């Protein structure tokens, strides 16, 4: 591709790409996201490559490896355009049939279509699938259309036009005003108004100024930032370019956690391509504005998602947070004014500039505008990435989009906000989701993880899980977080081992209060939330562990016993075969027994028993 030196160059380049794309009669999109890679989508891609070449169809059929369309659970996903046929769970052996039936003859391959579990009918296009139907995919929909390693694909769908508009039709103040009016708030969790943050950074004294994209998505259960950076890295670059222009920065950084190798790679490729065509570097589009971006990598420390720790990490130091009395917008990276936003926040920017703040602010609730991407995971039928307008209810997300319970167990709660958030009980599922409402019920938006929990999830175990998680991730700099979480973990360990006593719950609450009030950074200040919310809504479960030495969900191993019902056991021997400790005895076709002395309580026997004869008490 030639250098793009002006707006007219950009438009000409777009027309060239579009006319080249017209030569293809058919486009085969194979999802290449991390989720589908786990299902061997590379083999599907290789099979298409080989067969299309063998049949001499490469001139007419374009093969595209795209980012993640979100329905990871059904991967590998393949979409055929212009037919708009959505195939799921595709294997390499299905490729020949797709070519001969769909591409050559326009017919559907029935067994690869999604089947509506309620109506038992096959669905052709992804838009009709219940999982997608209730979504509003403003940010994610482009993931289906573009190959993230080709800047041409992004330009073809109108990419970098918002940048051109900002650079040539708007002054920096106007860009900031537009973002302010739109009502966009930070998607990393805290929900600070983005336009205001930009303005503060713009007004701060000191040169140079920096912008940072935070892709240290450490909240377990959240992966929308990974999918956005992996699937549409140029949109993030465009957002950063517009932000940098408004703020007056010439250098940016994208900080990616080490656990996301593909996101790192695709962002790196995007930066190189943008530099090559002149969309990063000096005098962008001939506007006089210069900006470049560098990549920075994390090292597996959760605390580095905290802005001051992240900055220390970019500086090549230990990722310890500092007090935020002086904000980053005044003194950030190397003591200079720094504006840090999360991946999803940056991704919204080109959209707002393109379609206008009025349009954006018409979506959502009074104080939370636009859409939010959630990762819907855990004990729910349809798992994956879900983009919905703010204000939609939890019920709609979990039941209409997620399809409800997974394997016959009633859903009892959803955990949002990661380790800083809390569990919301099913009785509150009519709650409209926005920044304020989630905080009100003791949880928070966080980066958008939504982990569904059912009767088989022990809330004491979940609270213990988060406390241990945070204890391990605490950087150790301040005492309340370092020592307080350790003690909370010890108390919860005791409770789940059946050694809890009557004072434990009040002690947990007292410790929580101190940690919330006196910790240095956000990690510590929000760390007790999972415990407090579990105590608020699921106190009887804690009490059952303490007073009756019983785990109602049958999760805490010291409190449970496995046995086999003599009446129901058919003597098939499946449990005996899978038991890793040989704790099951019994003759074929006769009732089996579990030897409790050597049973490791792994539950494998229960998982395989077709007669439902394995009981947990």
Phi, psi of 184 (to 5 degrees): -60, 130
Nearer of residues 384 and 500 to other proteins, judged by Cβ? 384
Among 1, 181, 431, 578, binds other proteins (CB under 8 A): 578
Among 73, 101, 116, 493, binds other proteins (CB under 8 A): 73
Shortest Cβ 602–other proteins spacing (Å): 5
Nearer of residues 61 and 310 to other proteins, judged by Cβ? 310
Nearer of residues 299 and 335 to other proteins, judged by Cβ? 299
Instruction: Tell me which stretch binds other proteins (CB under 8 A): 19-27, 288-296, 397-405, 520-528.
Output: 288-296
Residues between 3 and 62 with contacts to other proteins, criterion CB under 8 A: 34-35, 37-39
Does the footprint of other proteins cover residue 453 (CB under 8 A)? yes
CA 611 to chain CA centroid, Å, is 37
Nearer of residues 178 and 344 to other proteins, judged by Cβ? 344
Nearer of residues 235 and 386 to other proteins, judged by Cβ? 386
Among 120, 325, 580, 597, binds other proteins (CB under 8 A): 580
Does the footprint of other proteins cover residue 125 (CB under 8 A)? no
Residues forming a β-bridge with 584: 594
Does the footprint of other proteins cover residue 76 (CB under 8 A)? no
Among 375, 471, 496, 533, binds other proteins (CB under 8 A): 375
Secondary structure letter of residue 380 according to DSSP: B
Shortest Cβ 427–other proteins spacing (Å): 20
Residues between 296 and 355 with contacts to other proteins, criterion CB under 8 A: 296-302, 313-319
Phi, psi of 492 (to 5 degrees): -65, -35
CB 525 within 8 A of CB 519: yes
164-168: which pairs have CB atoms within 8 A and are 24 or more residues apart? 164/7, 164/10, 164/285, 165/353, 165/354, 166/242, 166/245, 166/246, 166/353, 167/245, 167/284, 167/285, 167/287, 167/289, 168/7, 168/285, 168/287
Residues between 454 and 483 with contacts to other proteins, criterion CB under 8 A: 457, 462, 465-466, 469, 473, 475
Nearer of residues 6 and 37 to other proteins, judged by Cβ? 37
Report the half-sphere exposure of 489 (CA within 13 A, side-chain side): 16
Please identify which residue in the block is written with the tokens 């400790």. 581
Shortest Cβ 366–other proteins spacing (Å): 30
Rounded Cα gap, residues 267 and 311, in angstroms: 19
CB 198 within 8 A of CB 243: yes
Torsional class of 359: left (φ above 0), alpha (ψ -120 to 50), beta (otherwise): alpha
Strands 251-256 and 210-215: parallel
Does the footprint of other proteins cover residue 233 (CB under 8 A)? no
Does the footprint of other proteins cover residue 426 (CB under 8 A)? no
- As given in the structure block, the two tokens for residue 248 are 């007056």
Rounded Cα gap, residues 28 and 64, in angstroms: 6
Rounded Cα gap, residues 123 and 478, in angstroms: 55
Shortest Cβ 345–other proteins spacing (Å): 18
CB 179 within 8 A of CB 239: no
Does the footprint of other proteins cover residue 422 (CB under 8 A)? no
CB 334 within 8 A of CB 147: no
Does the footprint of other proteins cover residue 400 (CB under 8 A)? no
Does the footprint of other proteins cover residue 148 (CB under 8 A)? no
Does the footprint of other proteins cover residue 528 (CB under 8 A)? no
Q: How many helices (H) and strands (E) does the chain have?
A: 26, 19
Number of residues interacting with other proteins: please give it, by CB under 8 A. Answer: 61
Among 160, 198, 223, 289, binds other proteins (CB under 8 A): 223
Does the footprint of other proteins cover residue 562 (CB under 8 A)? no
Tell me whether the omega of the peptide bond preceding residue 29 falls within 30 degrees of 0, making it cis.
no
Does the footprint of other proteins cover residue 206 (CB under 8 A)? no
Residues that bind other proteins (CB under 8 A): 34-35, 37-39, 72-73, 75, 217-223, 226, 258-260, 294-302, 313-319, 375, 377-379, 383-385, 415, 418, 449, 451, 453, 457, 462, 465-466, 469, 473, 475, 578, 580, 600, 602-604, 607
């Amino acid at each position: 591709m030639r250098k793009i030196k002006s707006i007219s160059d950009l438009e000409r380049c777009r027309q060239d790409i579009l006319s080249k794309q017209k030569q293809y009669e058919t486009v085969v999109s194979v999802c290449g996201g991390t989720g589908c890679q786990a299902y061997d989508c590379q083999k599907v891609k290789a099979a298409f490559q080989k067969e299309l070449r063998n049949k001499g169809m490469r001139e007419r059929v374009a093969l595209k490896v795209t980012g993640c369309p979100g329905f990871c659970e059904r991967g590998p996903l393949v979409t055929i355009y212009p037919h708009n046929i959505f195939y799921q769970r595709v294997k390499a052996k299905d490729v020949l049939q797709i070519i001969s039936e769909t591409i050559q003859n326009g017919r559907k391959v029935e067994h690869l279509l999604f089947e509506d579990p309620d109506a038992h009918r096959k669905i052709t296009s992804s838009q009709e699938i219940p999982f997608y139907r209730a979504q509003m995919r403003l940010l994610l929909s482009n993931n289906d259309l573009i190959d993230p390693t080709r800047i041409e694909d992004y330009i073809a769908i109108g990419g970098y036009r918002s940048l051109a508009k900002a650079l040539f039709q708007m002054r920096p103040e106007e860009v900031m005003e537009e973002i302010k009016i739109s009502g966009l708030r930070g998607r990393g969790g805290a929900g600070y108004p983005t336009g205001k943050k930009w303005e503060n950074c713009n007004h701060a004294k000191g040169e140079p100024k920096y912008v940072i994209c935070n892709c240290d998505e450490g909240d377990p259960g959240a992966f929308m930032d990974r999918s956005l950076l992996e699937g549409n890295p140029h949109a993030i670059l465009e957002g950063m370019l517009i932000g940098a222009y408004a703020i007056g920065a010439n250098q940016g950084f994208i900080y990616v956690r080490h656990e996301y190798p593909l996101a790192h790679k695709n962002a790196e490729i995007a930066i190189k391509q943008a530099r090559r065509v002149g969309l990063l570097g000096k005098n962008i589009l001939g506007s006089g504005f210069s900006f470049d971006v560098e990549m920075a990598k994390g090292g597996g420390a959760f605390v580095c998602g905290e802005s001051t720790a992240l900055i220390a990490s970019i500086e090549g130091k230990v990722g310890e947070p500092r007090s935020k009395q002086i904000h980053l917008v005044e003194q950030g990276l190397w003591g200079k004014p720094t504006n840090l936003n999360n991946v999803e926040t940056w991704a919204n920017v080109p959209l707002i500039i393109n379609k206008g703040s009025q349009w954006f602010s018409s979506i959502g609730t009074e104080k939370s505008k636009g859409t939010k991407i959630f990762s819907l995971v855990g004990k729910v039928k349809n798992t994956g990435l879900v983009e919905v307008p703010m204000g939609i209810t939890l019920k709609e997300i979990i039941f209409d989009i997620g399809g409800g319970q997974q394997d016959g167990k009633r859903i009892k709660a959803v955990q949002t906000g990661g380790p800083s958030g809390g569990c919301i009980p099913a009785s509150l599922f009519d709650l409209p989701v926005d920044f304020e409402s989630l905080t009100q019920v003791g949880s928070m938006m966080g980066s958008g993880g939504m982990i569904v929990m059912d009767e088989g999830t022990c809330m004491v175990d979940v609270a213990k899980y988060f406390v241990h998680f945070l204890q391990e991730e605490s950087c150790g700099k301040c005492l309340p977080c370092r020592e307080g979480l350790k003690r909370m973990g010890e108390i919860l360990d005791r409770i789940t081992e059946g050694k809890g006593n009557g004072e434990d719950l009040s002690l947990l609450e007292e410790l929580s209060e101190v940690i919330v009030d006196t910790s240095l950074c956000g990690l510590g200040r929000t760390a007790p939330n999972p415990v407090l919310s579990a105590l608020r809504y699921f106190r009887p479960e804690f009490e059952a562990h303490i007073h009756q030495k019983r785990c109602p969900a049958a999760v805490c191993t010291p409190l449970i016993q496995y046995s086999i019902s003599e009446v129901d056991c058919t003597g098939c021997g499946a449990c005996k075969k899978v038991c890793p400790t040989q704790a099951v005895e019994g003759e074929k076709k006769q009732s089996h027994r579990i030897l409790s002395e050597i049973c490791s309580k792994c539950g494998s026997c229960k998982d395989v028993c077709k007669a439902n004869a394995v009981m947990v008490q």
